[in-house]
Amino acid sequence: MADSTASAADHATVPPAATTEPSSKTPTFVESGERTESQDVVSQFQHEAYGPGPGEKPEDNFEMTMAPDDPDNPKTWSRPYRWFITMLSAVLVLNATFASSAPSGIAGQLIEHFHISREVATLTIALFVAGYCVGPLAWGPLSEQVGRKPVFVVCFFVYAVFQVGNALAPNTGSLLVFRFLGGMFAASPLANSGAVISDIWDADTRGKALALFTLAPFAGPSLGPTVSGFMNVAGVSWRWVFYLQAIFAGTCLAAVVLFLPETYVPILLVRRARQKRKETGDDRYWAPLERNKLPLSQRLKHILGRPFVVLFSEPMLLAITAYMSFVYGVVYLLFEAYPIVFTEGHHFNTGISGLMFLPIFVGGVAGVAIYLGYFNPRYAAAIKQYAPHPVPPEVRMEVCTYAAPIFALAFFWFGWTSYPSVSYWAPLMAGFPMGVSVVFIFLGLFNYTIDAYLAVAASALSAMTVVRSLFGAAFPLFATQMYDTLNPRWASTLLGCIALLMVPIPVVLERYGHRLRERSKYAPSRALPPKAHAEKGPGGEKAV
């Protein structure tokens, strides 16, 4: 899985006028608890890109603006059209994450053809995921300069070319290099698809759209081994697995070119200004983004430095990142653990072993359904309960407090039913609660981070994305040795015990997160609402 919501935080949580004083485009100060701090670079850039917010006036009569009810505003497009864009964006993420795990089913062919070890074959997965560490740092900010669509078009073209390069790779070195570079460019939808969702949906619907959208990065890694496994059983050459990825990427590229509109409002304003200058011959028409681009040095400092400054300054963000990275790494570790349990232990072929991942995907679907049917309505009720105050971010942790012990239990279940003498249905079905809990953990922690850090949420999520991708790349590299040395029972038990040690993280954040935020340098939502509002949550019980 991968993070598609990091860029969404830029616009989902910090509208241009949210952190700026009226009629001002110079750096201001925002209130944060009992003291003030310099306005975050992200917020300043957004204001300068979007122009005047509600209640503000344009600098002059030639500045391009876009009202909330403007027909060109993506949030005013028809709901069916916006859901189509949402689904297309999800498919782009599905493409990238499918490619990350697809080599799992052809590892045997790669070992035989290139005369490499199992560990080197595993690098085809690890290096692709490692590309996720680099790509989002470039593609997200670049989309804020040239637009979402151009970044998608260029990245998918290059990504498709690298898949052809993988298929034609003459040696191990070229295969691994192309996998890493492919992962870098495949990270484009991971960085920007979530931003597209936030471009087109208002706050009321965005939560539902992102919850459904979560299935895409979750489904890809689960389906990859199934497809490649059956291709391997059918006797198809390993090269065709990469050709399939190239065809998939090319199809997505065509869909982007033909059907995906530009959704980033600052770029739409730039186009409007250019059209106005062309129609009138008057060069005085301008868009905010044309005048207010930050210097390259300042942008690089923000892109590369600020996320990690925020991360290492915030103990609770470090805890969240550690937990989410562990969960993410374990998901990719399963691509090495499942073949040991089902291919070696139960003597299934690679196709059937690939099917063993499906309960994880089905559990993810169930998790999203439960979230939409139960937890999301509770949060909607909490909005009314706490009104006119914002809902404390700690309410988001409710879903994680359920998921954390379930995630640990799933590994004990998987480990101690992995004996070859035990029916394969037992370890197979452990994937269902695993899938449910992973979706719950990701949705809860992502939403908590966005709600708690507001203006610097994009920086916080960017750092989390990089660290999480490092875990996803590293865990498969030692999975085989760990499961061979400890055997599947004790290896899974070790993972379950580590997961148990992390169970207190969401519990502590739910109960004491507001106190941690009081000491936070970057969390502007400090105080709890008045006691009258905080006593009862959406279901009548104490919420925080």
Residue-wise pLDDT tens digits, 406-431: 999 999 999 999 999 999 999 999 99
We find that the CATH architecture of domain 75-262 is: Up-down Bundle (1.20)
- Residue whose C-alpha is closest to residue 32's, from 456, 534, 383: 456
Question: Same fold for the domain at 75-262 and the one at 294-524?
Answer: yes
Q: How far apart are CA 503 and CA 497, in angstroms?
A: 10
The mean pLDDT of 377-383, rounded to a whole number, is: 85
Is the Cβ–Cβ distance between 495 and 331 less than 8 Å? no
Q: Is 357 exposed, middle or buried (0-12, 13-18, 19+ CB in 10 A)?
A: buried
Contacts of 109 (CB under 8 A, 6+ apart): 232, 237, 238
Compare 311 and 318 and report the one with higher pLDDT.
318
pLDDT for the residue 29: 32
Q: Is the dihedral of CA 324, 328, 329, 334 positive or negative?
A: positive
Compare 33 and 370 and report the one with higher pLDDT.
370
Q: Is the preceding peptide bond at 388 cis, omega within 30 degrees of 0? A: yes
Q: Where are the domains of the chain?
A: 75-262, 294-524
- Mean pLDDT for the chain overall: 81
Contacts of 495 (CB under 8 A, 6+ apart): 330, 333, 411, 415
Residue type, 21: E
CB atoms within 10 A of CB 332: 26
445-501: per-residue pLDDT in tens?
888 887 787 656 666 777 788 888 889 889 988 888 899 899 999 999 999 999 999
Confidence of residue 54 (pLDDT cuts 50, 70, 90): low
| pLDDT > 70 in the chain, percent | 81
CA distances from 161 to 217, 242, 456 (A): 22, 11, 35
Confidence of residue 534 (pLDDT cuts 50, 70, 90): very low
CA distances from 374 to 398, 448, 450 (A): 11, 18, 21
pLDDT for the residue 477: 86
The mean pLDDT of 247-256, rounded to a whole number, is: 95
- Residue whose C-alpha is closest to residue 136's, from 126, 158, 151: 151
Is the Cβ–Cβ distance between 54 and 17 less than 8 Å? yes
CA distances from 502 to 18, 393, 413, 498 (A): 35, 19, 18, 7
pLDDT for the residue 497: 96
Lowest-confidence pick of 77-81, 119-123, 386-390, 399-403? 386-390
Rounded to 5°, the CA angle 535-538-544 comes to 40
Q: How far apart are CA 409 and CA 13, in angstroms?
A: 34
Confidence of residue 524 (pLDDT cuts 50, 70, 90): low
Q: Is the pLDDT of residue 254 over 50?
A: yes
Compare 221 and 83 and report the one with higher pLDDT.
83
Residue type, 523: A
For 239, the token pair is 């090269």
| pLDDT > 90 in the chain, percent | 37
Q: How far apart are CA 518 and CA 158, in angstroms?
A: 46
CB atoms within 10 A of CB 420: 12
Q: Is the pLDDT of residue 195 over 90?
A: no
For 54, the token pair is 């509600």
pLDDT for the residue 180: 95
Q: How far apart are CA 15 and CA 51, in angstroms?
A: 11
* CB-based burial, 97-118: b 16+ in 10 Å, e otherwise: bbbbbbbbbbbebbeeebebee
Q: How far apart are CA 123 and CA 130, in angstroms?
A: 10
CATH number assigned to the domain covering 294-524:
1.20.1250.20
Helix extents (H) in 147-171: 148-167
